[in-house]
Amino acid sequence: MKVYKFGGASVRNAEGVRNLRNIIDDEQNLFIIVSAMGKTTNALERVFEGVQRGDREKSAAEIARLREYHAAIIDDLWHGPTRLERVEALFAELDRVAAETQYRAADAELWYDTIVAFGELLSTTVVSEYLASAGVANHWVDMRRALVTQQRHKDASVDIDASAFRLLAEVEGAAETIFVGQGFIGGAPDGTTTTLGREGSDYSAAVVANILGAESMSVWKDVDGVLNADPKTFPDAEQIKELNYLDTIELAYSGAQIIHPKTIKPLQNKNIPLYVRPFGDKRKPGTVIRGTSAPVTVPILILKKDQVFLTVRSRDFSFVLEEKFATIFSLLERYRIKTNLIHNSAVNLGLCVDNSWHIDEAVAEFRDEGFDVMKVEDMELLTIRGYTDELLAKYGYTPKVFVRQTTQSTARIVRKK
Ligand SMILES: Nc1ncnc2c1ncn2[C@@H]1O[C@H](COP(=O)(O)OP(=O)(O)O)[C@@H](O)[C@H]1O
Ligand SMILES: N[C@@H](CC(=O)OP(=O)(O)O)C(=O)O
């Protein structure tokens, strides 16, 4: 079995779905993981925001746009006005969830998951039906039932042992040898829908590859492979032909958007190679990621956006690090705030963290606990692995730089956007 993952960009229009079919060609024994089409997840987040704020009109308008967007793709794929019953049913259910929810702030994450999961349910339904109509017999897998996750919403991890039986039963019980399942979503032990964190479809594919003992996993992207920087931010970026698991985890953890950080472990555990390949040209080799690789010889630049810089100071001037470290980090953990860089002095602890809905609540609690907190928004974290003096001079010393940390091999720069 091979696992193929198609991200939102690759199936953002009918041409992308036809291209997916061409990539599959006449392959058999394939598990295809598909993300929501184009920017659907962002739109569903806005549907959720409407529910959250009690603005039903906003939610309805967003759903209407999504309906049109999917309808246009379907009409294009089937060469004329076409209604797919299963797609209609999903939209009817989404309407119902968005309109009838007795929304409670305490359940924000649950409602978020319930709503945003529709993106992948829709995309896989369209892809599966299109493949069937194009002569590719396939089995649609409901990943809410196939993958058991933690009882945690919005950023759940998959329980691989608990999922294995279910996924294997689904695959072994099917007559078809091509499977189409949703990335990004799963089901909690209590039966509710969960999501695995934004851009989590790569991780879904890796879990499937692990459970099925796949010979390889390929993610089809809108770039030639892994480059030494995001070409959207650094136009001179060049392709890296091979990487090892360890370097890739470092890259992903530092914020390289090309691969979700949780993707590597399930692959590494079974030594499954990961290919990052361009969906625009199947013949190109892309980048291969596996246990060992030739060393990377170019510096790698990774920009993590949407960061907040918190400076936490103890009011009684006790050494923050030694006495208060545990309090600070358990509080951050409780609010599920992810820390990306720590900078400490005798009385201050500087924290570069991912922006989140809960920062202000955490800051309020820090203050209750006897800390002064300064919060600066619109920050970015630039990581340069294998930095040169020239790169450090270029990025490390501008007036917008708040913190600069260097080790022998890596520079990390917190700067204002
Ligand atoms: N180091 C990198 N190499 C290649 N692409 C990168 C890198 N860092 C960020 N990117 C960005 O990742 C994008 C592809 O990832 P993503 O959008 O998550 O794919 P998809 O959602 O289709 O799976 C590229 O368009 C590129 O802008
Ligand atoms: N659709 C989800 C999950 C995902 O992985 O998407 P993509 O493969 O397009 O990054 C998201 O946008 O976050």
| Ligand 1 close to Cβ of residue 226 (< 6 A) | yes
Q: Average pLDDT in the 178-187 region? A: 98
Q: Average pLDDT in the 267-284 region? A: 96
pTM of the model: 0.90
Q: Which ligand is nearest to the CA of 296?
A: 1
pLDDT 10s digits, 150-162: 999 999 999 999 9
Sign of CA dihedral 245, 250, 252, 256: negative
Rounded CA-CA distance 412/301 in Å is: 10
Q: Average pLDDT in the 197-223 region? A: 97
Helix (H, G, I), strand (E, B), or coil: what is residue 408? coil
Residue 269 pLDDT > 70, yes or no? yes
Give the percent of the chain with pLDDT over 70: 98
Residue 145: count other Cβ atoms within 10 Å of its Cβ.
14
Query: Higher pLDDT residue, 251 or 60?
Result: 60
Query: Higher pLDDT residue, 85 or 256?
Result: 85
**Could you give the domains of the chain?**
2-290 (3.40.1160.10), 300-416 (3.30.2130.10)
**Quick one: which atom of ligand 1 is closest to the CA of 9?**
22
Residue 393: count other Cβ atoms within 10 Å of its Cβ.
10
| Ligand 2 close to Cβ of residue 36 (< 6 A) | yes
Give, in degrees to the nearest 5, the angle at Cα 143 between 219 and 125.
Answer: 75
pLDDT 10s digits, 89-140: 999 999 999 997 688 888 999 999 999 999 999 999 999 999 999 999 999 9
Residue 320 pLDDT > 70, yes or no? no
- pLDDT at residue 191, as a whole number: 97
**Cα 7 to ligand 2 centre (Å):** 6
pLDDT 10s digits, 334-370: 999 999 999 988 788 999 999 998 999 999 999 998 8
Give the percent of the chain with pLDDT over 90: 88
CA R_g for the chain: 22
Q: Which ligand is nearest to the CA of 300?
A: 1
Largest CA distance in the chain: 72
**Cα 117 to ligand 2 centre (Å):** 11
pLDDT, averaged across the chain: 95
At 319, is the pLDDT very low, low, confident or very high (cuts 50, 70, 90)?
low
Residue 321 pLDDT > 80, yes or no? no
Q: Which ligand is nearest to the CA of 196?
A: 2
Residue 224: count other Cβ atoms within 10 Å of its Cβ.
19
For residue 212, CA distances in Å to 163, 205, 393 come to 11, 11, 48
State both tokens at 202: 């790569």
| Ligand 1 close to Cβ of residue 120 (< 6 A) | no
**Cα 198 to ligand 2 centre (Å):** 6
- pLDDT at residue 13, as a whole number: 98
Q: Average pLDDT in the 295-310 region? A: 94
- pLDDT at residue 85, as a whole number: 97
At 384, is the pLDDT very low, low, confident or very high (cuts 50, 70, 90)?
very high
Rounded CA-CA distance 52/69 in Å is: 24
| Ligand 1 close to Cβ of residue 232 (< 6 A) | yes
* Residue with CA at minimum distance from ligand 1 atom 23: 7
- pLDDT at residue 74, as a whole number: 98
Of 198, 207, 208, 230, the residue with max ligand 2 atoms within 8 A of its CB, to mutate for a pocket test, comes to 198
- pLDDT at residue 324, as a whole number: 81
